Structure 1
Amino acid sequence: MKRNFLYTELSNNIATLIKNGVLKEGDRLPSVRMLCTEHGISMNTAKRVFLELEAQSLIESKPQSGYFVSRLPYKKLPLAQVSSPSLINGNQEPEELIHKIYANMGNTDLTFFSIGAPADQLLPLAKLNKEIILATRSLSHSGTAYEPLQGNEKLRRMIATRSLTWGGNFDENDLVTTAGGMNALSFCMMALSKPGDTIAMESPCYSGILQLARSLGLKVIELPTHPITGIEIDALKKVVSKINLCLLVPNFNTPLGSCMPDEHKKEVVALLAKHGVPLIEDDVYGDLYFGAQRPKCCKSFDAGGTVLWCSSISKTLAPGYRVGWIAPGKYKEQILKLKLVHAISSTTITQEAVANFLKTGRYENHLRKLRQTLQYNYQQYIDTIAEYFPEGTKTSRPQGGLALWVEFSKEINTTILFERALKQNISISPGRMFTLQNQFENCMRLSLGLPWSETLKQKLKLLGRLAGS
């Protein structure tokens, strides 16, 4: 077979074997490396073969095990559509809807499919409590003193060390700590823009990011986004000369869960750098991969310091600790000036506790368990949706993260579904909250961060019946 064998032809051949029953449910597929060797193709081409098969719900990946013929009824759950927003600034913020969703926070009677963070039951609370106590004992002034402006040195050193796994190559001086991920994004937007500037981002996009951009007086251009591979680069090329900055969540973004291939990340970084447009990269979900290896970041391909890499532990370890960070590249001084004005210091005790948790290796152990749980949850959600949701339902195919995007037929309005579900003590995130345009009214995001149980399954089944009635 020729080296330039198209991934589409190879994926079609494997798909035919599955659909004809030659490859059966549960059969293991060749590894990426084996596919490369057998067909004389590159690693990227082989990965695209598996991405295409996953997009058709024909195969699934299992951590540390490889790819297997899926048990999903692929004809029932096709892939959600590529978004098609207008490339004109949107300004229709769904404030009332967002307020209704977050007004119920803390109501213990509700099942929160709407909260994009892991539930307490999935977090190592007892171990974290011990780290907090140890931090108060080891820190000078018991942790009541201000931290250095740049943040806890031990924490920055541990983050820098972990970045080596995806090509970050930082040292502690390259990083600035913040009060969580949103605080990091806020500093970046303020440093890089002024009211009236234009920012490009994915569509659909996390509502908090949209609200932040609007609060700073920015015009927002939403980019068409594929549920598997992220933004459509051709769309970015059309608007790149009109934008002042770009914000992307390349790894397992919410609500789609898409993950940009490495070659796409490299192309986006080069394109933006060529036009002098800085990129804010939100990598808060990057550690929650379902496969065998953490994906690279856009920052991995940043040669000129124009990518500001942001992340936190809010989606992996402790949302309430408010520990985040930025690798701001050449914009470090602007970020430090903003932090001095807006915060003076980061939270001393929680930074020290998190630094020690990372240093002991407990964080990696926790992440392994959490990733397995989230992938298991994803499979259970998909099985339940395929059986109990209305005919024509489509879903995303996240390869990591906390979000599952569900797309109904056009006649189902998820804002109305939200109101009906709330009466049954179920909270969802309607699709309209993830855009500034009139779109996604028939979509919703479900959080994978709840512990799976028979009770949760029954709630999901009830949600499907409500949608179909």
Structure 2
Amino acid sequence: MNVEAQDSECLYERIARQLDAQIREGVFRVGERLPSVRQLCARERVSASSAMQALSLLEARGLVEARPKSGFFVRPRRVEQAPQPRPSVCTLEPSTVGVSDIVAEVFRQAGDPKMVPLGAALPDPSLLPAERLSRCLAQVAREQPERLGRYDILPGHPDLLRQLAQRFAACGCPVPQEEIVVTCGAMEALNIAIRAVTRPGDIVAVESPCYFGILELLESLGLRALPIPGTCEEGIDLDLLEAAIERHRVKAVAIVPSFSNPGGGCMSLAGRQRLMALLADHDIPLVEDDVYGDLHFGPERPRPVKAFDRDGQVLYCGSFSKILSPGLRVGWVAAGRYTEQARRLKYISSTTTPAINQMAIARYLESAAMERHLRKLRQAFRTQVEQVSEAILETFPSGTALSRPTGGFYLWVQLPEGVDALDLHRMAAEESIYIAPGQIFCPHTDIRNRIRISCGYPYDERIQKSIRTLARLVRELEQGRLKPSAPRRRK
């Protein structure tokens, strides 16, 4: 080896050692980006080759990972070895739903700005393009002020319908504009979709654990839920779903195939095709909630199940609340063969979605800003999920298990046996920390020791301190040193 080669080797190894030490000392935390090749060249006065060799050496050691077009990021050190939560235990028997009282208690303090929002189902407002959207809103109102003085009784504003159809087509899901009904957020979309395909007393199959909003809808509509266990990797168990369909007269299936709430599972492409074939064989409609589909951490967006729908069986629901603006309340349902029912139910439900809000979002979507924003948002959520995951595994007691989502911004956490999540919720509230206990996501199964943690906010000192406080409360509950101050819920 010549002298020049030896010097080059010393340079990149020295840089790698420095970065290695900074990672281990916490200068660069899990999920954070390391200096770029250009920055290292300028800072260390080395060639691009030496800088790249240093980063590649850290990657080979498993300390960092390269992300296409983004750079090198610090890898989680504990998550890959941590166990994942066990699937819930279900009897595959339908029953009435009763979660409203628990949900009301849990979310009573959700809007309090003094609470640390570890249970919040929304991103930090700083991650959303509020200023750009406010300009779009002002421009539309200034150009067409007459819209503030009338109803636009339409399934949706033509500008937004066109943008939605383009977005659906881009993810392999061509939907005619005339099948889209614009709603006031995803909850109204789900409400309309479920009402369009069921009658009181009907059975609706759902994943367990399930988004509590769907459970509340079933409860309010007098429907019976048929919980089907799901995993944190794939979501709903299709073998068990098929067995349940053979056993019961299931009138609809309502699930979140992409990054489910709260489990975080993402159904594989083969699973989506199998699900669609199963439902087509039995002529059962699917209510597909795809509100998190754009928040994938991998290079490609998951294709909606709707992309494999040939007979209009899928009622495809979503909204812009998680990615653009929860305040504008704009969502949609692409209702397929149930379009006429969806239009009538929309009129009965809220008459119309404000045209000004629709036009503002359409104007934003027309620009090149949307894809840039989504790339940044996905990167932020991935970083925050990794940082909170590491913090939980570092501080929580032995027996803790954790999901490994590949999109979205939720973690599903299994606590040690004997820790009641509702008790933990109440204890945490006394410490000004808000979490979501497992009981609201699956009231009929044994998941009393599960919680959902939101990673929608940047991992700062406040979040870090709250995770440590939660860990202390979990440990004290496990050891029986704490008792809940609030009365336990009625059985």
The TM-score range, normalised by the shorter chain, is: 0.7 to 0.9
Q: TM-score, normalising length from structure 2?
A: 0.81
Whether the 8 Å contact between 1:144 and 1:348 is mirrored in structure 2 is no
* CA displacement, residues 344-365 of structure 1 (integer Å, 9 cap, x when unaligned): 2211111111111111122222
* CA displacement, residues 432-459 of structure 1 (integer Å, 9 cap, x when unaligned): 1101314210000001111221221111
CA spacing shift, 1:63–1:201, aligned 2, 3 Å: farther
What is residue 196 of structure 1 aligned with on the other side? 201
Whether the 8 Å contact between 1:384 and 1:457 is mirrored in structure 2 is yes
Q: Is 2:391 the counterpart of 1:394? A: no
296, 307, 312: which is aligned to 2:314? 307
Tell me which structure has the larger Cα radius of gyration.
Answer: 2
- Aligned-pair identity (%): 36
Deviation at 1:77, TM superposition (A): 2.1
Report the 3-state secondary structure (helix = DSSP H, G, I; strand = E; otherwise coil) of the residue aligned with 1:319: coil
Whether the 8 Å contact between 2:263 and 2:411 is mirrored in structure 1 is yes
157, 160, 168: which is aligned to 2:162? 157
Whether the 8 Å contact between 1:91 and 1:437 is mirrored in structure 2 is no
216, 230, 236: which is aligned to 2:235? 230
Whether the 8 Å contact between 2:306 and 2:316 is mirrored in structure 1 is yes
Q: List aligned pairs for 1:165-180, cutoff 5 A.
A: 165-180=170-185
In 2, distance between residues paired with 1:282 and 1:386? 30
Deviation at 1:326, TM superposition (A): 1.1
Q: Is 2:376 the counterpart of 1:360? A: no
Whether the 8 Å contact between 1:128 and 1:353 is mirrored in structure 2 is yes
117, 120, 123: which is aligned to 2:125? 120
What is residue 14 of structure 2 aligned with on the other side? none
CA spacing shift, 1:75–1:125, aligned 2, 3 Å: closer
Q: Is 2:293 the counterpart of 1:274? A: no
* CA displacement, residues 128-179 of structure 1 (integer Å, 9 cap, x when unaligned): 1111101102336144322242111110110111112221112322311011
What is residue 331 of structure 1 aligned with on the other side? 338
Q: List aligned pairs for 1:442-453, cutoff 5 A.
A: 442-453=449-460
What is residue 430 of structure 1 aligned with on the other side? 437
Number of positions where the alignment pairs a residue of Structure 1 with one of Structure 2:
415
What is residue 220 of structure 2 aligned with on the other side? 215
In 2, distance between residues paired with 1:79 and 1:275? 33
Deviation at 1:105, TM superposition (A): 2.8
Deviation at 1:367, TM superposition (A): 1.2
In 2, distance between residues paired with 1:58 and 1:228? 24
Report the 3-state secondary structure (helix = DSSP H, G, I; strand = E; otherwise coil) of the residue aligned with 1:274: helix
Whether the 8 Å contact between 1:149 and 1:339 is mirrored in structure 2 is no
In 1, distance between residues paired with 2:321 and 2:380? 17
What is residue 135 of structure 2 aligned with on the other side? 130
Report the 3-state secondary structure (helix = DSSP H, G, I; strand = E; otherwise coil) of the residue aligned with 1:404: strand
CA spacing shift, 1:65–1:226, aligned 2, 3 Å: farther
What is residue 98 of structure 1 aligned with on the other side? 103
In 1, distance between residues paired with 2:343 and 2:229? 34
* CA displacement, residues 347-387 of structure 1 (integer Å, 9 cap, x when unaligned): 11111111111111222222111111100001101111111
Whether the 8 Å contact between 2:290 and 2:304 is mirrored in structure 1 is yes
In 2, distance between residues paired with 1:361 and 1:273? 38
Report the 3-state secondary structure (helix = DSSP H, G, I; strand = E; otherwise coil) of the residue aligned with 1:244: strand
In 1, distance between residues paired with 2:135 and 2:260? 32
CA spacing shift, 1:194–1:419, aligned 2, 3 Å: same
* CA displacement, residues 18-48 of structure 1 (integer Å, 9 cap, x when unaligned): xxxxxxx99xxxxxxxxxxxxxxxxxxxxxx
What is residue 294 of structure 2 aligned with on the other side? 287
Q: Single out whichever of 324-333 and 118-127 deviates more from structure 2.
A: 118-127
In structure 2, stretches of 5+ residues that fail to align are 1-23, 25-29, 31-61, 477-491
Q: Is 2:383 the counterpart of 1:376? A: yes
In 1, distance between residues paired with 2:298 and 2:65? 10
Whether the 8 Å contact between 1:58 and 1:74 is mirrored in structure 2 is no
What is residue 479 of structure 2 aligned with on the other side? none
Whether the 8 Å contact between 1:286 and 1:295 is mirrored in structure 2 is yes
In 2, distance between residues paired with 1:58 and 1:415? 37
Q: List aligned pairs for 1:338-349, cutoff 5 A.
A: 338-349=345-356
Deviation at 1:299, TM superposition (A): 0.4
In structure 1, stretches of 5+ residues that fail to align are 1-24, 27-56
Deviation at 1:61, TM superposition (A): 8.6
Deviation at 1:317, TM superposition (A): 1.2
In 2, distance between residues paired with 1:337 and 1:305? 18
* CA displacement, residues 273-301 of structure 1 (integer Å, 9 cap, x when unaligned): 11010001000010111111111110011
CA spacing shift, 1:305–1:292, aligned 2, 3 Å: same
Please tell me the residue identity of whatever aligns with 2:334. A
* CA displacement, residues 48-77 of structure 1 (integer Å, 9 cap, x when unaligned): xxxxxxxxx999895656999954225862
Whether the 8 Å contact between 1:308 and 1:326 is mirrored in structure 2 is yes
Whether the 8 Å contact between 1:62 and 1:291 is mirrored in structure 2 is no
Whether the 8 Å contact between 1:245 and 1:277 is mirrored in structure 2 is yes
* CA displacement, residues 250-281 of structure 1 (integer Å, 9 cap, x when unaligned): 00111011100011011011101110100010
CA spacing shift, 1:208–1:382, aligned 2, 3 Å: same
Whether the 8 Å contact between 2:180 and 2:332 is mirrored in structure 1 is yes
In 2, distance between residues paired with 1:189 and 1:384? 39
In 2, distance between residues paired with 1:288 and 1:460? 24
465, 469, 472: which is aligned to 1:458? 465
Please tell me the residue identity of whatever aligns with 1:82. P
Please tell me the residue identity of whatever aligns with 2:174. N
Task: Give the aligned CA root-mean-square deviation in angstroms.
Answer: 2.2
Report the 3-state secondary structure (helix = DSSP H, G, I; strand = E; otherwise coil) of the residue aligned with 1:399: coil
Q: Is 2:200 the counterpart of 1:184? A: no
In 1, distance between residues paired with 2:235 and 2:459? 28
In 2, distance between residues paired with 1:351 and 1:375? 29
Please tell me the residue identity of whatever aligns with 1:99. A
Q: TM-score, normalising length from structure 1?
A: 0.84
Q: Single out whichever of 295-304 and 88-97 deviates more from structure 2.
A: 88-97
